[in-house]
Chains A and B, each alone.
Chain A
Amino acid sequence: MVLDAIDRQIIQATQAGLPLVAEPYLAVANQLGLSEQEVLHRMADMLEAGVIRRIAAVPNHYKLGYRFNGMTVWDVDDQQVDRLGQQVAELPFVSHCYQRPRYLPEWPYNLFAMVHGKTEQDAERQVAIIAALLGANARQHSVLYSSKILKKTGLRITG
């Protein structure tokens, strides 16, 4: 799907959140000088094409008590990474799971999975479950807890 200027305007107007009013898509349409139908149709098309992944009330894990946000990183065989990544992503406590490039020698990890626990033990239990699932396929791993949130906004695009 190729996005046109109007699609991008809709994304820009909604990515930080819809207004909390009874007819939010109408409010966005009015702001952009479009009809409500056009906003709804274009968002449906972007949803269908996967540009919009989902429309959500996005929970703030931290405020809901999930204070231990761990970025777990694993060094697995590149031939196996897709199969293993799918399996890790299916675990109910994993919110994101990505393959990323290594930077040898100082960064050997190619599989990233985010876990969220209410306590450090919770998070460690989750790491242990991933470790058991990957078994000998994981040559080494590390867990990077966040000690401070310095800035957090949703995905933003600019003009």
Chain B
Amino acid sequence: MLSSLHKQLLNNYQQDFPLSPTPYLDIAEQLGVTEDEVLAAFQVLSEQQMISRIGPVIAPNKVGSSALVAMAVPEVELPRVAEQISRYSEVNHNYERENRFNLWFVLIANDERHLQAVIEDIEQQTGFNAMLLPMLADYYINLGFELNLND
């Protein structure tokens, strides 16, 4: 089960993980524990995949060019197409969703031309059309997602 230190680490460092020579020591001082305890607790969270990583979150489209892409693929073709798409290094999130548009993924490329080239390649390889949904506006509020870790 999660200790109160684990919970504090999960809830309090979604925004402001310290950018300093000794971030874990800074956190230890903030929470009144030792640096080793903080490192060990993050190690557990990381091993159990409760955190996916500790590091910078890059704003979409500030570096390179990205878009959400949706495809409508017949159920029987879905495993093959999903597999083909996940193989591209430019694809990061790839989800099956319950809709006629049942395959949703995010493409990240170095620039717009690279993005278009990957889309065309995906359409050719899979034999299905891709619906390109780039972000037009990002309504980003600088608040952490509040985790309910009690049940």
Contact = CB atoms under 8 A, between A and B. Distances in A.
Interface of A: 3, 8, 11, 14-18, 20-26, 36, 40, 43-44, 46-47, 50-61, 63-65, 69, 71, 81-82, 85-86, 88-90, 92-93, 95-101, 103, 106-107, 110, 112, 116, 118, 142, 144-159
B141 A58 contact: no
A14 B59 contact: no
A97 B139 contact: yes
Nearest to A69: B95
B99 A142 contact: yes
Given A57-B9, A98-B135, A101-B133, A155 B60 contact: yes
A101 B66 CA distance: 14
A20 B50 contact: no
Interface residues of B, number: 79
Contacts of B35: 22
Interface string B54-91: 11111110111010101000000000001001100111
A158 B56 contact: no
A52 B59 CA distance: 6
Contact of A17 (B54, B100, B141): B54
> A-side binding surface: helix, strand, loop or mixed?
mixed
B139 A56 contact: no
A15 B56 contact: yes
A60 B51 contact: yes
Given A36-B21, A55-B57, A150-B103, 6 more contacts: A24-B23, A53-B56, A56-B13, A60-B52, A82-B137, A147-B98
